[in-house]
A = this chain, B = another copy of it.
């Protein structure tokens, strides 16, 4: 090419299921000129991340989908090629969100200067970037691994999973990785130093996972869903924590099929997209610590007329089985009790 031009990848059509290369379109364009207060960025490295699948689908998510014809979004490491902005100089290496294109203009907002002497700039897209901080914050804020506990993460050789397991170990927990194929498994065990690794391509995967977690699972960092989730659920310990960070096995699903026979993916999608907390509890967990407070508080509310109740009284122990069967079908009206004697 005698004259450098810009190359951009735009969304040609919304993929249904697995994306096809024809869902993307390449466009050539002149290299833009920075205006006053702008810089021209030359992309050095583009990050590819699973979340992009959400942004090119029409499904409602944490961020609006991009439009047909738009440049695909994405984090980049870029070089400031020309600057008419006081804070940025030609040659600066920056982290930006300039997307799938060779050149882009920026007014400087959202740019972060990278120091190549500290770490290779591309790490700002991985271990020191979005995937790294995703692993760090999700594991520590939600997973809260304690020394000796077992932390399981899938896609363990990937950008997020690899960091999850290593931080789990740094915090004194046992890290069990799940990866696909012997090469990735060897890397997870030998290079990343996980305590154990299980190949999800093995025919007896669920059994192998159980063997790798003899004390059950205390933290499961969810980033894949699908069959891995099915194998994990029976192994979860009481009070296990599950940060739901991604569901890559379902990303190519048709979201309009979410009301189909298997409602789990639809539920998990909402948990993820809306940062929802589901938390099971059995009252015994809180009873000892809070019984006195409850009785004092509820007694006061009853005296003040703020707390009312209704009893559904069945007469005679002989009626208990039938009344219990009705309770499971919602036939009672109020708290169901059996008057056994006066």
Q: Does A263 contact B (CB under 8 A)?
A: yes
Q: Does A213 contact B (CB under 8 A)?
A: no
* Residue from B119, B275, B286 within 8 A of A133 (CB atoms): B286
Given A137-B286, A276-B279; 6 other pairs, CB 8 A cutoff: A18-B329, A50-B327, A166-B306, A236-B270, A240-B276, A242-B276
Among A47, A122, A276, A336, the one with the most B-chain Cβ atoms within 10 Å of its Cβ is A276
> Which of the 9-residue segments A31-39, A82-90, A156-164 touches chain B?
A156-164
Contact between B274 and A277 (Cβ–Cβ < 8 Å)? no
Contact between A142 and B335 (Cβ–Cβ < 8 Å)? no
Contact between A278 and B286 (Cβ–Cβ < 8 Å)? no
A-B contact list, 30 entries, CB within 8 Å = A20-B325, A21-B322, A21-B325, A23-B321, A44-B342, A45-B340, A48-B323, A100-B320, A118-B299, A125-B337, A127-B309, A127-B335, A133-B286, A134-B283, A137-B294, A141-B281, A142-B279, A158-B334, A159-B334, A162-B308, A238-B274, A239-B275, A245-B281, A264-B264, A264-B267, A267-B267, A272-B282, A275-B285, A276-B280, A278-B279
Q: Does A191 contact B (CB under 8 A)?
A: yes
Contact between A192 and B274 (Cβ–Cβ < 8 Å)? no
Q: Does A105 contact B (CB under 8 A)?
A: no
The 8 tightest CB contacts between A and B, nearest first, are: A126-B335, A137-B286, A159-B335, A127-B309, A271-B280, A24-B321, A278-B278, A46-B338
* Residue from B127, B241, B261 within 8 A of A277 (CB atoms): B241
Contact between A238 and B275 (Cβ–Cβ < 8 Å)? yes
Q: Does A183 contact B (CB under 8 A)?
A: yes
Contact between A274 and B234 (Cβ–Cβ < 8 Å)? no
Q: Does A19 contact B (CB under 8 A)?
A: yes
* Residue from B18, B19, B280, B298 within 8 A of A244 (CB atoms): B280
- B contact residues around A145 at 8 Å (CB): none
* Residue from B278, B321, B333 within 8 A of A187 (CB atoms): B333
Docked complex Cα distance between A233 and B274 (Å) = 10
* Residue from B44, B262, B338 within 8 A of A45 (CB atoms): B338
- Considering only CB atoms, which chain B residue lies closest to A170 in the complex? B306
- B contact residues around A230 at 8 Å (CB): 259, 263
- Considering only CB atoms, which chain B residue lies closest to A56 in the complex? B324
Given known A-B contacts A287-B137, A320-B46, A328-B53, A262 and B259 have beta carbons under 8 A apart:
no
Measured between C-beta atoms, what is the minimum distance from A237 to chain B in Å? 7
* Residue from B42, B184, B276, B325 within 8 A of A236 (CB atoms): B276
- B contact residues around A295 at 8 Å (CB): 128
Contact between A133 and B290 (Cβ–Cβ < 8 Å)? yes
- B contact residues around A118 at 8 Å (CB): 299
